[in-house]
Structure 1
Amino acid sequence: MTERLVICMRRSLTEPVPDPVWPAGIRPVTFEPGRHAETLHALLVEAYARGGGYVEPFAIWWPSLQGDSEYDPALVFVAANERGSIVGVAQCWTGAFVKDLAVAPSMRRNGLGSSLLHQAFRAFRERGSPSIELKVHADNPSGALRLYRSLGFEEVESYRLA
C-alpha cells in the first residue's frame, strides 16, 4: 500500500467573511436528515469515486455520523439545483472542522464549493470560532487543495497515512 500525504489546513475567521455567491440556478436548502441523508451519502460516494476521500456504506456511515458527539444537523450545508436535486454539501463538525466537502462533478469549477465554504465560514464566525480547519489528501484529484488555498486556508501540518 502506498503512503498518502494528508495536509491539515486552517483559515482565520477573525476578519469579516464574504457572503456566499451561489451559481445561477443553485440555492442553499436546509438539511433535513430523514429526507436528505441517503442523497448526501450518494453525492459523497460520487465525489470521492476518483480519489480524495472515502465514505463507508450508508448503513455504517449514517449511524456513525449521527452518533458522533460533534455532529449537528445545522452544520450540514446543502445546495440544490432548480429541480431540487442536491448538488453540493459541506458537512462540518461542531469544533469548526470541515469533515466533507462534496460537489457533484457536473457542478465543479463554477463557485459552488466556495459558496458552501463561505456559508460554513459565516456560521462558525457567528458561533465565535476564531478559525476553521480541514484535512485534504495532497493528491486529491478534484482541485480541492487549490480551492482551499484560494479561500485563505493555510497549511498547519502534514502527515503520511499508510
Structure 2
Amino acid sequence: MGDRLVLRLRRALTGPLPEPVWPAGIRPVPFEPDRHARQVHALLVEAYSRGGGYVEPFTIWWPSLRDDSEFDPALVVVAVNAQDEIVGVAQCWTSAFVKDLAVAPAMRRQGLGSALLRQAFRALQGRGAAFVDLKVDADNPSGALRLYRSLGFDEVESYRLS
C-alpha cells in the first residue's frame, strides 16, 4: 500500500440542509439487516475494488459492524433501483462520522452520492449533530474528494499512514 495521505473532512450541519435529489428510478429505503446486509457488503467490495477503501469478508465485516457500539441501522442510508437492487449506500456512525459511502459503478456521476450524503446529513442533524466528519485518501481514484468538497466539506486534519 505504501505511504498514503489521509484527510479528515468536516461539514457543519447547522441551519437548513438541502433536500436530497435522487436520480430517476432510484429511491431510498430503510436498511433491513436480514434483507440488505449481504447486498451492501457486495456493493462495498465492488466500489472499493479499484481503490479508495477496503472491506473485510462478510463473515468478519457484518458481525463487527452490527456489534459496534456506534452502529445504528437507522444511519445506514440505502438507495435501490426499480428492481430493488442496492445501487448506493452511506453508512454512518452515531458519532456523526461517515464510515462508508459506495455507489455502484453504473450509477456514478448521476448525483447519487450527493443524495445519499444529504439524506445522511438530515438524519444526523435530526439527532442533534452539529457537524459530520469522514476520512478519505487524498489520492482517492473515484472522485470522492471532489464530491465531498462540493457538499461543503473542509479539511480539518491530514496525516500519513504507511
Give the TM-score range, shorter chain. Answer: over 0.9
Between the aligned partners of 1:18 and 1:24, the Cα distance in structure 2 is 18
Between the aligned partners of 2:155 and 2:39, the Cα distance in structure 1 is 31
SS state at 2:63 partner: helix
Q: Aligned AA for 2:82? A: E
Q: Aligned AA for 2:99? A: K
Q: Kindly report which structure 2 residues correspond to 1:3-42, keeping only aligned pairs within 5 A, or say none.
A: 3-42=3-42
1:112 matched to which residue of 2? Answer: 112
1:58 matched to which residue of 2? Answer: 58
Q: Aligned AA for 1:59? A: T
CA apart distance, 1:119: 0.2
* Stretches of structure 1 lacking an aligned partner (at least 5 in a row): none
Between the aligned partners of 2:155 and 2:12, the Cα distance in structure 1 is 12
Runs of 4+ in structure 1 off by over 4 angstroms are none
What do the CA deviations read for 1:90-148 (whole angstroms, capped 9, x no partner)? 00000000000000000000000000000001111111110000000111110000000
SS state at 1:25 partner: coil
SS state at 1:109 partner: coil
Q: Aligned AA for 2:112? A: L
2:155 matched to which residue of 1? Answer: 155
2:46 matched to which residue of 1? Answer: 46
What do the CA deviations read for 1:4-47 (whole angstroms, capped 9, x no partner)? 11000000001210111100000001100001000000000000
Q: Aligned AA for 1:101? A: L
Q: Percent identity?
A: 75
1:89 matched to which residue of 2? Answer: 89
1:136 matched to which residue of 2? Answer: 136
Between the aligned partners of 1:106 and 1:75, the Cα distance in structure 2 is 24
Residue 75 in 1 paired to residue 69 in 2? Answer: no
Between the aligned partners of 2:15 and 2:161, the Cα distance in structure 1 is 34
SS state at 1:82 partner: coil
* Stretches of structure 2 lacking an aligned partner (at least 5 in a row): none
Between the aligned partners of 1:92 and 1:57, the Cα distance in structure 2 is 19
Between the aligned partners of 1:128 and 1:59, the Cα distance in structure 2 is 33
The number of equivalent residue pairs is 162
Between the aligned partners of 1:156 and 1:138, the Cα distance in structure 2 is 13
- TM value normalised by structure 2: 0.99
Q: Aligned AA for 1:140? A: N
